[in-house]
Amino acid sequence: MKFVDACSAQGFNLVEFPEIMPAYLMDSKFVEQDWMIKKPGTDEPFVLTPEITAFYASLIGQNTGIDALKNISYVATCYRENRFVQLGLESISSNVESDIRVISTAYDFLESLGLADYFEIVVNDLSQLKRFVSDVGVDKEYVIPVLKILDKYSGIIRAGTTDIDEAFTSEVSSYVSDAGVRKELLNLAKSNQYDKEFSSEFKEILSDLSDKKNLRVGASLARGLSYYNSLPPRESTPIFEIYSKTDLEQICGGGRYDGLMGRLNPKLQNTEFDSGIGFAFGLERVFKVLMSKYQSFEKMSEVLR
């Protein structure tokens, strides 16, 4: 399988994850009531696996096979509103080299499918975005809600809607009363660019990835999952999403989660096992991009082998 090959070439080992897991292994924000299953004869709740990163972080946090799980790839069946398959990888590390390797692996996988002209990678430095939001005057307690609004409107603009002034300002007003601050945030959302230089770490990442076709910075990209925002980040916190050029649908998302394992197990704080980076593709969405190019299941199957 091309995905496993791309990951293996970068040193990631394939690991299998179950479709059902004990609920205590998942962050409570993922556990919806209709996912809950009772083990026969007990009151112990289980969940249908909604995603892998939080499960993976819990295993690391409990020191479960910690060395064997430092660099893994997976093909996993997950459940939220519906059943879907994720292709992903995770790496326990806190250095720029790992950031570059993970983003490169996602790119190399799609390129191996012949899709170099069919996708776009949007990257951002979440640390930089947080600094910007704080520096323009957003109160600390409202930084995360404002980030989510910026992220929402980055998608709206990407889909082709540019007249966002009234709607954006209305939503931000719930957290920001100062008109000047709201204007600064609106300008960032519309321009999708920073007026300050990136950190040296993020510059290094961009420099190393400069040969990758269709890669650009999206200054308002924030990602919605809480483990990117749970703790104070390092100097640079790379996050990224990959979009199909045919229908602008997101097919992959990922980034760095600093301090997540240390939050689950204080003994891991400030150790090499405290932070990681990963991504996940939606297999069905990758299939849609493949079909837009190859137009037949037979040809698509040949490419995937």
Residues 168-183 pLDDT 10s: 999 999 999 999 999 9
Q: Select, from the ranges 22-31, 79-88, 262-271, 294-303, the one with the highest average predicted confidence (pLDDT).
A: 79-88
> For residue 227, what pLDDT is reported?
62
Which pair of tokens denotes residue 25? 């292994």
> What mean pLDDT comes out for the span 250-262?
88
What's the pTM value of the predicted model, to 2 decimals? 0.90
The residue ranking higher by pLDDT, 32 or 107, is 107
Model pLDDT for residues 28-82, shown as the tens digit of each residue: 555 566 666 766 777 778 888 888 988 888 888 777 667 778 899 999 999 888 8
**Which residue has better confidence, 113 or 275?**
113
What's the mean per-residue pLDDT of the chain? 87
Instruction: Answer whether residue 262 shows pLDDT above 60.
Output: yes
Examine the pLDDT at 251 and tell me if it is beyond 60. yes
For the stretch 222-239, pLDDT in tens is 987 666 655 555 688 899
How deeply is 255 buried, as exposed, middle or buried, from its count of CB atoms within 10 A (0-12, 13-18, 19+)? buried
User: Does CATH place domain 2-17+52-304 in 2.130.10.10?
Assistant: no
Amino acid type, 189: A
Weakest mean pLDDT among 23-27, 132-136, 186-190 = 23-27
Kindly report, residue by residue over 82-102, the tens digit of the pLDDT: 899 999 999 998 889 999 999
- Sequence spans of domains, the chain: 2-17+52-304
Strands 215-217, 119-125: parallel, antiparallel or unpaired by DSSP? parallel
Instruction: Categorize the per-residue pLDDT at 152 as very low, low, confident or very high, splitting at 50, 70 and 90.
Output: very high
**pLDDT in the model for residue 42:** 72
Share of the chain above pLDDT 90, in %: 57
From the list 156, 158, 178, 161, the residue with the least C-alpha distance to 169 is: 178
Q: How many residues does the chain have?
A: 305
Q: For 254, list phi and psi in degrees, rounded to 5.
A: -170, 180
pLDDT at 16 over 90: yes
Of 8-22, 217-231, 287-301, least confident by mean pLDDT is 217-231
Whether 162 shows a pLDDT value over 90: the answer reads no
Looking at residue 233, its pLDDT comes to 56
- Cα separation of 283 and 286, whole Å? 5
SS3 sequence, the chain?
Answer: CHHHHHHHHCCCEECCCCCEEEHHHCCHHHCCHHHEEECCCCCCEEEECCCCHHHHHHHHHCCCCCCCCCEEEEEEEEECCCEEEEEEEEEECCCHHHHHHHHHHHHHHHHHCCCCCCEEEEEEEHHHHHHHHHHCCCCHHHHHHHHHHHHHHHHHHHCCCCCCHHHHHHHHCCCCCCHHHHHHHHHHHHHCCCCCCCCHHHHHHHHHCCCCCCEEECCCCCCCCHHHCCCCCCCCCEEEEEEECCCCCEEEEEEEECCHHHHHCHHHCCCCCCCEEEEEEEHHHHHHHHHHHHCCHHHHHHHHC
